[in-house]
A = this chain, B = another copy of it.
Amino acid sequence: MKFIHTADWHLGKLVHGIYMTEDQREVLRQFVELVEEEKPDAVVIAGDLYDRSVPPTSAVELLDEILFKINVDLKTPVVAVAGNHDSAERLSFGSSWYRQSQFYLTGKLTNDFQPIHINGVNFYLAPYAEPGIVRQLLQDDTIHSHHDAMKALIGKMEETMNTNEPNVFVGHAFVLGGKTSDSERALSVGGSGCVGAELFESFSYAALGHLHSPDALQHEKIKYSGSLLKYSFSEANQKKSVSIIEMEGNGSFTIRYKSLKPKQDLREIEGYLEELLDPAFYEKQSCNDYLKVTLLDEGALIDPINKLRQVYPNVLHLERKLELTDAKTKKTFISIKEEKKSELDLFAQFYHEMTTSEFTQDKKEIMADVIEKALKEEGAR
């Protein structure tokens, strides 16, 4: 039995103000091709299909189109659950119809803990739900944390589980020990939101969503597929992929990873402004990539972002190295409410903000001269 495990599509995602929809469309086109080639028995999507509860209509149309191709055109069963970014109720609309063509979409957690049987494997679906929702659903006042909630849900699943068949868990959770990135929204304010890996023992494979890296967790059978694309610069060095699992009747499996190639990569570059603007450097680069640029220059720079964007149109974030090294000793902005200062004091402050050098006595004298002349000219007008 073969299934493809993916998650965290985040359709409709904005990264630094840029809609990723066209990038997602391209990668999903490749995903549909992969399904066509691999002919899996099922495609599993472990939550966060959308980036938010009310996604933009372009994202709604894209999801509709892609899932229809996979499920109806390619006749591939689809197993999908809501993640913490999805609206459980909105995603649930129509799911009763979808089941008729083996599209098993579970937005809202219900009291039905029966698995979906596909070609010898039982898929147990656990859409993302807050502990409070699980507490209410199961009428169990001892549920307070995500760990408690997951334990109770899996307990329900285990009540009727056939352990002689392979059982696969499909859910959206933060398993203890997983590595986070900047684009995952914390599951819990305050508490950890974590669930213990030991909960998944009765499953042959846990197909998880939430963490964005395919190797977020080193565990032999609890796996994150990782997100569809890099959704933050903290993911710049991650290799994104979808997982192809081939499972035997005894639950043992092999796993292959297939990378999907986005039109534009999302990555970080670092250097001196002049260096980055030098054709010898940039001609070797994919200049259209989404970039975070870190400039090493120490002195003041005039409008570096616009200069960079002439060469790299998709600079999404610009940082100065010096801001990182001595940010603590500096304020970034001059407050306009500060008490009146002399021109020389103001310049000293500006010099300090813009450079890493000292505003020495020599420099001070030169500047004082300049200011004096300027003020005289002003007075003479």
Partner-B contacts on A (CB < 8 A): 54, 57-58, 60-61, 63-64, 68, 71-72, 87, 89-90, 92-98, 100-101, 103
A interface: dominant SS: helix
CB-contact partner of A94 in B54, B58, B87, B93, under 8 A: B93
A94 to B100, CA, bound (A): 12
CB-contact partner of A97 in B60, B72, B89, under 8 A: B72
8 sampled A-B residue pairs with Cβ under 8 A: A57-B87, A60-B89, A60-B93, A64-B95, A68-B97, A97-B97, A97-B98, A97-B103
Q: 4 tightest A-B contacts by CB?
A: A57-B89, A94-B94, A68-B96, A64-B93
How many identical subunits does the complex contain?
2
A101 to B94, CA, bound (A): 12
Contact A72 B93 (CB under 8 A): no
Contacts of A57 in B (CB 8 A): 87, 89-90
Contacts of A96 in B (CB 8 A): 64, 68, 72
Contacts of A94 in B (CB 8 A): 64, 93-94, 97-98
Contacts of A97 in B (CB 8 A): 68, 71-72, 94, 97-98, 100-101, 103
Contacts of A87 in B (CB 8 A): 57
A90 to B103, CA, bound (A): 19
- The minimal Cβ–Cβ distance linking A83 to chain B, given in whole angstroms, is 16
Contacts of A92 in B (CB 8 A): 60-61, 64
